[in-house]
A and B are shown apart, each in its own frame.
Chain A
Amino acid sequence: METAPGVRIRDLTVVYNTPMGELPAVSGVDLTLTPGTITGVVGESGSGKSTLALSLLNAVQPPGRISGGSVEIDGLGDVVRLRGEELRQARGRKVGYVFQAAQNSLNPLKTIGKQLLDLGRSHDVADPRALVRDAKDLLARMGLDGARVLDSHQHELSGGMRQRVGIMLALVLNAKVVVLDEPTTALDMITQATILRIIREVHEERALTTLVITHDVGAVAEVADALAVMYGGRIVEHGPIADVLGAPAHPYTQGLIRAIPRLSGDISQARALPGRPPTLGTLPAAGCVFRERCALRMEICETVEPAPVTCGGRTVACHAAGHSLAPVKRKEYV
């Protein structure tokens, strides 16, 4: 079997042009996706997750643009430099993408089956019948009647069904890198768990490298191998999922986990993170972007942005991280 490709994001900066000038939604992000693993990206809404995900396909939409850095994908090279036909062929065929608003990702005037064939035609699929068969298989695994769904128009499907169609379309061409941006938001808890389990299965069968974005730490905890935590356009913590969830090093990660009863283990102890996430306009120009909401805020946080420090497979960007590992929490998780 083909080996899974690695993905290396280096010093990636993406800016949006706003009335206040170009402001970064992703700032100097370094992130490596180990071949064959599922990496979860969590963070509150507005932290730059979708912008990061779109960068993997060099698809940041105006008024945004990638202003610096690279996204190396094995077999593709630096995606940021891809243009025209090369870029188009990479999208869909090499990198499968499930759109954040997957419920709205279908052409309302065509049946799903016809859109599937359009996808096949765009990527010179030699055997459309095999493509349809694969699509039906994937849909069946996700609990849908494949033949019926392919015969349907978007308006005949529920939000959850459309989302699963979106996932099918991302997987059906056998892309080796798969990016899923909030793939289960329109689904109920049980379907959500099922879909994530299927994503995990397909991921393993096909030896993929997968990025799953979600604002729901609980959902991704079950499927991911590694977890990256985003805040204000930075990755503030990244490491093996058991480590990050079991012993969160960054105060933001700690806050996120404490806010989820499923993970903190005790509903009475679940506490929402105080304050609100920054927007592009309110991001501080210097110092740590999280300091406004941070309990461990120090003087240095006002002026110096904490650089990511890697230690034992874990990367943390926090001046206080050394002092902040919470031993009590750690006990609950090991």
Chain B
Amino acid sequence: MTRGAAITRRVAGHLARGVVMIWVVATVSFFIIREIPGDPVQGMYESLLQKGMSPQQAERATAVLYGFLPKGTLWDQYVGYMGSLLHGDLGQSLSTPGVQVTHLIGAAASWTVLPVLAGTLLSFLLGVTMGVYAAIRRSGKLGDLLALSGSLLHGIPVYVIGLLLTAIFATLWPILPSGGPVDVDYVPGLNPGYIGSLLYHAVLPVVTYTLASYGGWILAMKSNVVAVLGDDFILAAELRGLKRGIVFRYLARNAILPLFTILALSIGMLFGGSIFIEEIFNYPGLGLLLVNSISSRDYALMGGTFLIITVGIVVANIVADLLYTVIDPRVRSGGTA
């Protein structure tokens, strides 16, 4: 099998698994909305009837809100819901009446995706560099200290990191804004004031994301480097008198490679962490949207946000795997990892 075909096959496999995952999440959120105690769909339908709407009007209004009809068998409702999902229709928000869920999600997505990606990238670069250092200096004080910093940060839950950072940099020593995405004084657009304010407000969330996954990277990288250092081919390269820089590149590339398999996992974890982070920093991303949708019992929004986060994780998986495939020449068939 050619390399191109192998890559296509892997991506196809991921896509198939991703579709199944999205379908499961969609189904679960359908049943959550439908089966939740008090049945919000039925409740709304009935309250609309009580407000004097005709059954048809009430039905249509409910369908617009939840994306499926409250009438008919559960199966019919399910098919209706899935049908509208396929058309990209997630229903309307209850808490912000008249606004499509897709619209709200679209507005929130970049507030989550960009900081999460920035945090992932920063923590990856930082963790990998420090991990190499910690591995090479593993018998020294500094190496120990680095590894310790990794273990500590790895053990601290992300919301504790967020709270600590706000406490320190927004309250005790207020050099950074405590929350919000941007100062309202600036006119949105490509002007230095607005962009500067955006970045200024993004510092704490991004640093929180970075610290949250830095520990994992440094620990994983350190153990990979130590393992590769023990591999015969590194000694062989030294015995052939290869230049230090070249041996180091052999070492680093072989040690980094396995990290790509956990890249998707890490991005997924940060997406999950955004629920806490955005709450703490009052950052209008998907996490905050989800929290608000839960507290306002906006089930359509809740289901939609869940679904989008799932899609994000599936996409991250595919991208991480593609990276891995491009870098590792050993990936030939779907069989070998």
Q: Report the Cα distance A274→B177, complex, angstroms.
A: 80
Q: Report the Cα distance A92→B250, complex, angstroms.
A: 17
Does B242 interact with chain A (Cβ within 8 Å)? yes
Question: Which residue in B232, B238, B241, B254 is a CB contact (below 8 Å) of A104?
Answer: B232
Question: Which residue in A119, A153, A155 is a CB contact (below 8 Å) of B240?
Answer: A119
Q: Report the Cα distance A169→B238, complex, angstroms.
A: 13
Could you tell me if B232 and A99 are in contact, using CB atoms closer than 8 angstroms?
Answer: yes
Q: Report the Cα distance A272→B235, complex, angstroms.
A: 34
Residues of chain B contacted by A110 (CB below 8 angstroms): 250
Residues of chain A contacted by B239 (CB below 8 angstroms): 57, 59, 91-92, 97, 99
Expressed in whole angstroms, the minimum distance between the Cβ of A53 and any Cβ of chain B is 10
Expressed in whole angstroms, the minimum distance between the Cβ of A305 and any Cβ of chain B is 32
Given A97-B239, A119-B240, A122-B242, verify A108-B330 contact (CB < 8 Å): yes
Does B231 interact with chain A (Cβ within 8 Å)? yes
Expressed in whole angstroms, the minimum distance between the Cβ of A249 and any Cβ of chain B is 34
Residues of chain B contacted by A59 (CB below 8 angstroms): 235, 238-239
Residues of chain B contacted by A107 (CB below 8 angstroms): 233, 237, 250, 254
Q: B210-237, CB under 8 A of A: which get 1 and which 0? A: 0000000000000000000001110111
Within 8 A of A (CB), among B243-271: 243-244, 246, 250, 253-254, 257
Expressed in whole angstroms, the minimum distance between the Cβ of B152 and any Cβ of chain A is 29
Residues of chain B contacted by A97 (CB below 8 angstroms): 239-240
Does A81 interact with chain B (Cβ within 8 Å)? no
Residues of chain B contacted by A111 (CB below 8 angstroms): 329
Residues of chain B contacted by A99 (CB below 8 angstroms): 232, 235-236, 239
Q: Report the Cα distance A153→B233, complex, angstroms.
A: 13
Q: Report the Cα distance A166→B241, complex, angstroms.
A: 14
Expressed in whole angstroms, the minimum distance between the Cβ of A136 and any Cβ of chain B is 18
Residues of chain B contacted by A102 (CB below 8 angstroms): 236
Residues of chain A contacted by B238 (CB below 8 angstroms): 59, 88, 91
Q: Which residue of A lies closest to B328 (CB)?
A: A109
Within 8 A of B (CB), among A140-156: 153, 155
Question: Which residue in A93, A101, A105, A155 is a CB contact (below 8 Å) of B241?
Answer: A93
Expressed in whole angstroms, the minimum distance between the Cβ of B141 and any Cβ of chain A is 19
Q: A103-118, CB under 8 A of B: which get 1 and which 0? A: 0111111110000001
Does A330 interact with chain B (Cβ within 8 Å)? no
Could you tell me if A105 and B257 are in contact, using CB atoms closer than 8 angstroms?
Answer: no
Q: Which residue of A lies closest to B257 (CB)?
A: A109
Residues of chain A contacted by B328 (CB below 8 angstroms): 109
Expressed in whole angstroms, the minimum distance between the Cβ of B235 and any Cβ of chain A is 7
Q: Which residue of B lies closest to A84 (CB)?
A: B244
Most A CB within 10 A of own CB, among B232, B237, B244, B246 = B237
Given A109-B253, A118-B246, verify A91-B240 contact (CB < 8 Å): yes
Could you tell me if A119 and B242 are in contact, using CB atoms closer than 8 angstroms?
Answer: yes
Residues of chain A contacted by B232 (CB below 8 angstroms): 99, 101, 104-105
Expressed in whole angstroms, the minimum distance between the Cβ of B254 and any Cβ of chain A is 6
Given A104-B231, A105-B232, A109-B254, verify A92-B242 contact (CB < 8 Å): yes
Given A92-B241, A123-B241, verify A106-B246 contact (CB < 8 Å): no
Q: Report the Cα distance A288→B232, complex, angstroms.
A: 34
Q: Which residue of B lies closest to A106 (CB)?
A: B233
Could you tell me if A91 and B241 are in contact, using CB atoms closer than 8 angstroms?
Answer: yes
Does A18 interact with chain B (Cβ within 8 Å)? no
Expressed in whole angstroms, the minimum distance between the Cβ of A80 and any Cβ of chain B is 16
Could you tell me if A122 and B240 are in contact, using CB atoms closer than 8 angstroms?
Answer: yes
Q: Report the Cα distance A88→B239, complex, angstroms.
A: 8
Does A61 interact with chain B (Cβ within 8 Å)? yes
Residues of chain A contacted by B231 (CB below 8 angstroms): 104
Residues of chain A contacted by B241 (CB below 8 angstroms): 88-93, 119, 122-123
Could you tell me if A108 and B254 are in contact, using CB atoms closer than 8 angstroms?
Answer: yes
Q: Which residue of A lies closest to B251 (CB)?
A: A107
Expressed in whole angstroms, the minimum distance between the Cβ of A151 and any Cβ of chain B is 11
Could you tell me if A105 and B236 are in contact, using CB atoms closer than 8 angstroms?
Answer: yes
Q: Which residue of B lies closest to A152 (CB)?
A: B329
Residues of chain B contacted by A119 (CB below 8 angstroms): 240-242
Could you tell me if B235 and A88 are in contact, using CB atoms closer than 8 angstroms?
Answer: no
Does A262 interact with chain B (Cβ within 8 Å)? no
Residues of chain A contacted by B240 (CB below 8 angstroms): 91-92, 97, 119, 122, 169-170
Expressed in whole angstroms, the minimum distance between the Cβ of B337 and any Cβ of chain A is 13
Expressed in whole angstroms, the minimum distance between the Cβ of B7 and any Cβ of chain A is 16
Within 8 A of B (CB), among A6-63: 57, 59, 61
Does A133 interact with chain B (Cβ within 8 Å)? no
Within 8 A of A (CB), among B54-70: none
Expressed in whole angstroms, the minimum distance between the Cβ of A16 and any Cβ of chain B is 16
Can you list 26 A-B pairs, Cβ within 8 angstroms, ordered by A?
A57-B239, A59-B235, A61-B235, A89-B241, A91-B239, A91-B240, A91-B241, A99-B232, A99-B235, A99-B236, A99-B239, A104-B231, A105-B232, A107-B250, A108-B233, A108-B254, A109-B254, A109-B327, A109-B329, A111-B329, A118-B242, A119-B241, A121-B243, A122-B243, A153-B330, A155-B329
**Apart from A88-B243, A104-B231, what are 5 other A-B pairs with CB-CB below 8 Å?**
A97-B239, A99-B236, A99-B239, A109-B328, A155-B330
Which residue numbers of A lie inside 8 Å of B, CB to CB?
57, 59, 61, 88-93, 97, 99, 101-102, 104-111, 118-119, 121-123, 153, 155, 166, 169-170
